[in-house]
Amino acid sequence: MMGVIEGDAFPRIFIPQLVEYYKAGRFPFDKLVKYYEFEQINEAFEDSKKGLAIKPILRIV
């Protein structure tokens, strides 16, 4: 499994900037994520590999 959390950004600057981009319609993060139930974990990995899901998010209930 591989992941990245903000890289070397400064969260106090980076996160508010992303929010402003989103409000301005310049960062449509809701189109970048795709939700999967935990049982779909293999599908989430495959979709990520194929480029069908840029940011797969697992729901664990």
Residue 59 has pLDDT above 70, yes or no: yes
From residue 35, give the alpha-carbon distance in Å to each of 14, 29, 45. 24, 13, 12
The answer to whether residues 19 and 13 touch, using CB atoms and an 8 Å cutoff, is: no
Residue 3 has pLDDT above 70, yes or no: no
Q: Which long-range contacts (CB under 8 A, 24 or more apart) does 25-33 make?
A: 29/55, 33/57
| pLDDT value, residue 38 | 96
* Spatial distance between the Cα atoms of 19 and 54, rounded to a whole number of angstroms: 19
* pLDDT tens-digit readout, 22-58: 999 999 888 889 999 999 999 999 999 999 999 999 9
| pLDDT value, residue 8 | 73
* pLDDT tens-digit readout, 6-20: 567 788 998 899 999
